[in-house]
Structure 1
């Protein structure tokens, strides 16, 4: 969309506001309708930035919701496959026992062991031994029947579990599809917003870039964790001087830093693109310590540490709903996959509201 005239620019701003309302974001500042005076001040630029940030934030929330649904579906698929294998083995066992019991019965009652036992009782020199052998044969038969009945019970239980698991998987796949649909709708709105952003006049684009630089500088001063003086420790080429982190944390940071420049793609875990938690989970997997896939699961499942104790390789979880994550690299900096339309990069660790810090590998 080319916003080259005053009226076109104003219509673009009105469209941004409409997009925000369409996905139930908190309303931001109102913009002039076509024909109204164009304020052309820093307040309007701040409003555009806030509205765009809101759209990207909604997209990330939807991305993590899809990722969580996808992980649950994948785990259920593995569970169902395992149950089906167990059921197949049990069915084979039941069939084998059924054949064995039938063969034993035919042998026993059609001239086999029980018939020869009767002859021994009549003509043999050791009737007590014959009776003992007959008793053992009957016990063996009863045991065989009991085992067969037990296996049939197990088969019935496994069959029920398999069907229940299959039904649960169908529900999980539906949830995953719903989440994917919601995410795609939001991405369309983001594409519209980006076209509006791209159509800003040169002066407005300059002010928007200046605003982003100002926010970056402000974020640097907000960091109160380790390395808050700008020095700190680093690993894998992270910002700041000091000691270099080795071991698994160093490998994880090195992997994450090596991905800089690759695009953010929702649901991606590499190797050519990543989303935020896809990057951190892939980095720690490369370091030999697999961690949960989503930022929310990382927050819930990993060891939490104090902000002042953060060290390279730790994960910084953002927002109250734990829907964004970056990897601390030292010196008050982190590496992350920011949002749609952006590439993996480093940024001040306090760029977004911090929920907490977690440490993998402990």
Structure 2
């Protein structure tokens, strides 16, 4: 859900900050803004130039049209996920800046009060002890009294106070500028990405309208066409045999997740077991469980469950994890699909993956070569 933000919030933080009160107002704006930013839609990308199936009869054309709409929705979904990750990091940064601002503002206020007291003491000709000054500045107040024994005369103490005041003001200005920039970045993200959610929903709605208008024989024909394409994909996997899967590794026990591949153990086994246990749950764009997942939500949560956190999106998984050859794929590896790395499935052995395919479908297994493969990455090491 795109959060509803009060327009005046950003205006207060970014446009109407007067010098005398900007620190107070930006802290208020930060508090409200950090609480409001919970889910931000992500960047949009042009549709990928992936090879399209050859045009065939009417059923083939319908199949291609539906695939195109769901591909556009998935591209936008991965962008949506990436923006949510960015928003989370920006929110954490804003929270940290808020804390820093409060600390520095308190320090500056205390120094201001201390400088006033010192000036009044100097005017009266009284001795002004530096103990209070050191208590304010020290991160270890228990050292203030021993340190006070080294204090110079009131004039030197005043100079120290004024110098520290200047330093505190400079730091406050720096932190305020950093916080303001973060607010601007989030404002730009909201403005640039506000249409992503609608774009996803529109593509899904278009596809659902097409499917709702199909006759029973067309629905059956599409199901048969998909099965035919899945059967053809089995033979495309490297080293595939009669069962559509690569030969078992030496020493394999033949009791892998697909019933014919090598046994899976360790973290990879935990990740595969978790992913397989999600079979039947619906695809949900932007979702990371427990009741629904999108493609990269499933793989990232499965590996996190195995104790190996990995990047959230398929694009970040492709960029950030170790690449391995297609022929050496092992259960638990992630197969990245399409030229723009916008789909991912987890290899389970036997030439099969488990994945969250698209809106309207449930998590399932499929031939690993059923989509254009970009490459394979290995989270386990």
TM-score category of the 2 structures, normalised to the smaller one: 0.7 to 0.9
Q: Residues 361 and 242 of structure 1: is their aligned pair in 2 closer, same or farther, counting only changes over 3 Å?
A: closer
- Note the C-alpha offset of 1:177: 1.9
Indicate which of 268, 280, 283 corresponds to 1:264.
283
- Note the C-alpha offset of 1:228: 3.9
Structure label with greater radius of gyration: 1
Structure 1 Cα separation of the partners of residues 82 and 272 of structure 2: 24
Q: Residues 261 and 112 of structure 1: is their aligned pair in 2 closer, same or farther, counting only changes over 3 Å?
A: same
- Note the C-alpha offset of 1:153: 0.5
Structure 2 Cα separation of the partners of residues 84 and 234 of structure 1: 56
- Note the C-alpha offset of 1:353: 0.4
Unaligned runs of 5+ in 1: 1-22, 31-41, 116-131
- Structure 1, residues 19-56: CA drift from partner, whole Å, max 9, x if none? xxxx99999999xxxxxxxxxxx722222222221221
Give the secondary structure class of the aligned counterpart of 2:215: coil
Q: Residues 310 and 28 of structure 1: is their aligned pair in 2 closer, same or farther, counting only changes over 3 Å?
A: closer
Q: Residues 184 and 112 of structure 1: is their aligned pair in 2 closer, same or farther, counting only changes over 3 Å?
A: same
- Note the C-alpha offset of 1:108: 4.0
Indicate which of 69, 75, 89 corresponds to 1:55.
69
- Structure 1, residues 212-259: CA drift from partner, whole Å, max 9, x if none? 122111111111179943545699962133542222211111111110
Structure 1 Cα separation of the partners of residues 272 and 179 of structure 2: 42
Structure 2 Cα separation of the partners of residues 341 and 146 of structure 1: 65
- Note the C-alpha offset of 1:287: 1.4
Q: Does 1:75 align with 2:89?
A: yes
Structure 1 Cα separation of the partners of residues 160 and 296 of structure 2: 55
Structure 2 Cα separation of the partners of residues 339 and 87 of structure 1: 45
- Note the C-alpha offset of 1:275: 0.7
Give the secondary structure class of the aligned counterpart of 1:222: coil
What residue is the counterpart of 1:342 in the other structure? Answer: 361
Q: Residues 229 and 309 of structure 1: is their aligned pair in 2 closer, same or farther, counting only changes over 3 Å?
A: closer
Aligned length: 310
What residue is the counterpart of 1:141 in the other structure? Answer: 158
What residue is the counterpart of 1:5 in the other structure? Answer: none
Q: Does 1:208 align with 2:200?
A: no
- Note the C-alpha offset of 1:282: 1.1
- Note the C-alpha offset of 1:342: 0.5
- Note the C-alpha offset of 1:59: 1.4
- Structure 1, residues 181-229: CA drift from partner, whole Å, max 9, x if none? 2112112101112213xx3233x43332222122111111111179943
Q: Does 1:244 align with 2:263?
A: yes
- Note the C-alpha offset of 1:311: 1.1
Structure 2 Cα separation of the partners of residues 152 and 182 of structure 1: 46
Indicate which of 295, 299, 304 corresponds to 2:318.
299
What residue is the counterpart of 2:180 in the other structure? Answer: 163
Please show how residues 164-179 of structure 1 align to structure 2 within 5 Å.
164-179=181-196
Indicate which of 53, 60, 71 corresponds to 1:46.
60
Give the secondary structure class of the aligned counterpart of 2:336: strand
Give the secondary structure class of the aligned counterpart of 1:68: helix
Q: Compute the TM-score of the two structures, normalised by the length of structure 1.
A: 0.77
Structure 2 Cα separation of the partners of residues 49 and 218 of structure 1: 16
- Note the C-alpha offset of 1:291: 1.4
Q: Compute the TM-score of the two structures, normalised by the length of structure 2.
A: 0.74
What residue is the counterpart of 1:189 in the other structure? Answer: 206
Structure 1 Cα separation of the partners of residues 75 and 257 of structure 2: 28
- Note the C-alpha offset of 1:144: 2.1
Query: Do the aligned partners of 1:236 and 1:254 also contact (CA within 8 Å) in 2?
Result: no
Structure 2 Cα separation of the partners of residues 242 and 59 of structure 1: 33
Q: Residues 133 and 289 of structure 1: is their aligned pair in 2 closer, same or farther, counting only changes over 3 Å?
A: closer
Q: Does 1:218 align with 2:235?
A: no
- Structure 1, residues 241-298: CA drift from partner, whole Å, max 9, x if none? 3542222211111111110000001111111001111111111111122211111111
